[in-house]
Structure 1
Amino acid sequence: MTQPNVDDLVQSIASDTGAPPETVSRMVSQTWQAFSDGARITDYLPVLVTKRVREDLRSQSRHNHH
């Protein structure tokens, strides 16, 4: 199965968070793999992956600012 509109997800997350697209792309790829491993229903993967990557980036930026 291919990842639908991964480039769109990456661009959206990168522009919203200010993170470099390369970093976002790597995180999306890793998160996608973790979430899809053994998943029977993949309809919601783009939403779940996007949410997790945004949360991870937010928590990283909070840690970097302290």
Structure 2
Amino acid sequence: MTQPSVKDVVKAIATDTNTPAETVSKMYADTWAEYSDGARVLDYLTVLVARRVRENLRNVSQGRH
């Protein structure tokens, strides 16, 4: 099973959260850097990073209402 590309993940998150792709891409890159720093196993990093970005965007959107 192949993992989705970063571009595909960013696009899906942007669509799902109604957030500009540029914003999601920046958040994804920042979160990836934070999570991968010192990580030995990167197998599930895409899933973990995507989940964290979605949670952060959800929290931001809930804070606006």
TM-score normalised according to structure 1 size: 0.91
Percentage of matched positions with identical amino acids: 56
**Structure 2 unaligned spans of 5+:** none
Partners of 1:43 and 1:31 lie apart in 2 by 16
Q: How does 1:1-66 map to 2 (within 5 A)?
A: 5-65=5-65
**Structure 1 unaligned spans of 5+:** none
CA RMSD of superposed structures (Å): 0.9
Alpha-carbon distance, 1:51 to partner: 0.3
Partners of 2:9 and 2:45 lie apart in 1 by 11
Alpha-carbon distance, 1:64 to partner: 1.1
Partners of 1:23 and 1:57 lie apart in 2 by 10
Runs of 4+ in 1 over 2 A off after TM superposition: none
Letter in 1 for 2:31: T
